[in-house]
Structures are given as C-alpha cells and as structure tokens.
Amino acid sequence: MKLVDRFLQYVKFDTQSDELTNLTPSTPGQMVFAQHLEKELHSLGLKDISLDDNGYLMATLPGNVDHKVPTVGFIAHLDTSPDMSGRHVNPRIVENYDGNDITLNADLGIVLSPSEFPELLHYQGQDLIVTDGKTLLGADDKAGIAEIISAVEYLKAHPEIPHGDIRIAFNPDEEIGLGAHKFDVEKFGADWAYTMDGGEIGELEYENFNAAVAKVTFTGRNVHPGYAKHKMINSLRVATQFAIMLPRWETPEHTEGYEGFYHLVGIEGEVEKTVLTYIIRDHDRDRFDRRKKEFEHLTRKINKEFPDCASLELKDQYFNMREKIEPVMYVIEIAEQAMRNAEVTPKVVPIRGGTDGAQLSFKGLPCPNIFAGGLNFHGRYEFVPIKSMEKAMQVIVEIARLVAQR
C-alpha cells in the first residue's frame, strides 16, 4: 500500500482521546485502530508483534547485517486531540497548490487562507491533504504512523539497504499526556528511539517544556446580597483577583521560542466555590520552579486577605528531555545526517509543548522528536503536504541505514 493511501485510510478511524474516562486506552476507537494496525503488521511479515490490553502495539523488523548494530525504535501515537472531532474525517487532496485560498467547506464558509496561515505559501506547487472544515485531519499523528509503517515496508522490500533490528511502537493517549505512562521500555528493547510526531518538514526536537498543572480552589461564603456587607465572600471575585495577579504578558498569546507561560485552561464556579485550572510551562528548570513558587506565593497572599479561602494543588506532568539527550548527542547527529541525505534541511527547534519522547527519555529510552509533516494541528485547518510525508519516510530509512553503517 502506498504512503498516501495508507494515511487516508488511517484518518477514517475515530481515535480521539478523552481525559475523563480514566481508562487506557481512554477511548475504544484507539483499540480498534490498534487492532487494524496489528493485522497490517502481520501481513507485512514483521516479527515479535504484540498488542497489550492497554493498546500499546509493538513489532520488529529484523536486521539484515551480520555485525552487531544498535536497535533503534520509531514511535507514533494512535489518538487524535480532544480539541476537535475526529469522527467522519473527510480528507481531500489539493493538487499543485497555487498559493490562493482553499475553500474547505463552501456551505459553512470555512476557508484555509494564506492571509491567516502564511506557512501555506511554503508549499506552493505541492499536493496538500486538507479537511472538509468539519473535523481535524489527524496528521497528528497518523501521518507518523503511516510514515513508520511505509518505511519498514520499504526496508523489507529493499534488502540491499543494510539495517539492524528496527523496533516500532504505536501508543494511545499522547494527546492527554498519558502516552508514555504504561509504555514498557524494557519490553520495547531499543537502544534509543525517535517519535515521529513533529510538525513541518525538517523539525528535529530534543528540548521541550517542563510542565505542571495547577488547580486553585477558592471557597467562599454565600449570603443574601441585600445583607451581605462584611459577611459574603464571593469566590468568583476572589478567583478573578488571583488571576489578574499573574503577569499579563506571560501567557501563550504573548510568548514564543524559549519563553514560558501561565495558561488558564478552565474556570468553574459560583459564589461559594470556584476552581481555576492552569498549566505552567517553561524550558528552563529554574524558571519553571519559580513559576510554581509564584502560585504558592499568590495563594498565601489571597489567604492573608481571605483566611483559608484558597487551596492549591500542584502536579508536575513532564520535564525537559534535553538533560537526557545531551549525553547521547549522536542520536541527534544521526537524525541530522539522515535529513541531509534525504535533501531536507534540519531545523533544530525547542518544542513549545510536550511529547511522549520526553517521558520516555526519563524512563531510560532517549527519544527525540522528528517531523511528521503536518501543520495547524488540533483543528479544522490542519493540513499535511504529501512531499513532507514522503521525506519523513525517507528520513526513517536513512536513519536505519546510518545506524547500521556506524
């Protein structure tokens, strides 16, 4: 099966994850998709194929060289983002993109325009896969899955390309931060791996945010508003006071590059009780720790004015994998050379987010992130250039060849 056909088939599976189910995988569609992939891997003749009850699918393409070669892995995730529906995805191919607006859905007036998404102009003359404006596309990360499977199929069909054992894995629930939680690194058995989960062509990432979630609960006192003087404590108002005490410009809409932020992601409340939920992000561990201490400081400040009103729950989610990759920088050098061999210019950039690779790196599997080719993830304007997918597949093949040569 060709790469594009494989991808167009995969996006038809509804695999949105759901952080509220407390199950693994969090939604049944992910297991349905994993079972489909399991059958496909058997049909390709891969070895050591296993699918566990949590939806983690692993397999091996055995090496074809007679000398000892490190085992390298390639990983992608089964789920799509909960941010937008992934059901009834209806992709189409825009051939030879001309640089003008792309009408995704005429009835709904949904247009993918370079005036709003200027990165489109980087792909003039290329074939693009887009949505019909009603769902996300699912290139994050079904493009990665299609690229990995197509690459091992290519290697199997071309035994003249030397390679060691190649391990592949597809895991659930990356989009809700749980993709690596039940990943059996020892069973996977790779010396290092790459997640094929990056964005546009050339991206190579081994730095990501340190991440935490903060939940601040404000307990108020409700009294008839006509007789509330010196009695009422309106938790909604106190919560608002807390929110405006955080730096105004240190939010996602005002930051880029290595700049961290506080991001208010949820408000739920009434007079007697209000809960603010934040995510805290920073690449630098010291600044990250200071951001968490700021929440502790502001909570104490609120409680000084309104005794015992505010309570704080802080939970670390993941850490910057740079400290785990720097001792084994050859894994980055190999990926950079593989890209150059595939006529792709490497773009080493920090991830302004998280990745399964970060958690896996801290579990003992160094795991930087390579582009899968898609853009505008998690929404109706998501698209993927076909050439970028083809180049990602070539990079996987080149990494396998270079590792065998080393």
Active site residue 326: no
From 14, 38, 79, 398, the catalytic residue:
79
Given the residues 38, 140, 174, 207, the one annotated as active site:
174
Compute the half-sphere exposure of residue 310: CA atoms within 13 Å on the CB side of its CA.
26
CA distances to 180, 325, 338, 357 from 332, in Å = 21, 8, 10, 13
Counting other chains too, the contacts that 255-260 makes at CB distance below 8 Å and 24 or more residues apart are 256/352, 257/350, 257/352, 258/283, 258/284, 258/350, 260/209, 260/284, 260/287, 260/288, 260/291
Round to the nearest angstrom and report the end-to-end CA distance of the chain: 31
> CA–CA distance from 185 to each of 75, 310, 338 (Å)?
12, 40, 25
3-state secondary structure at position 93: strand
DSSP string, 151-191: HHHHHHH-TTS----EEEEEES-GGGT-TTTT--HHHH--S
The pair of structure tokens assigned to 301 is 């400040």
Pairing of strands 72-77, 192-198: parallel
- Residue 119, amino acid: E
Establish whether 40 is a catalytic residue: no
Task: List CB contacts of 20: < 8 A, sequence separation 6 or more.
Answer: none
**Active-site residue set:** 79, 174
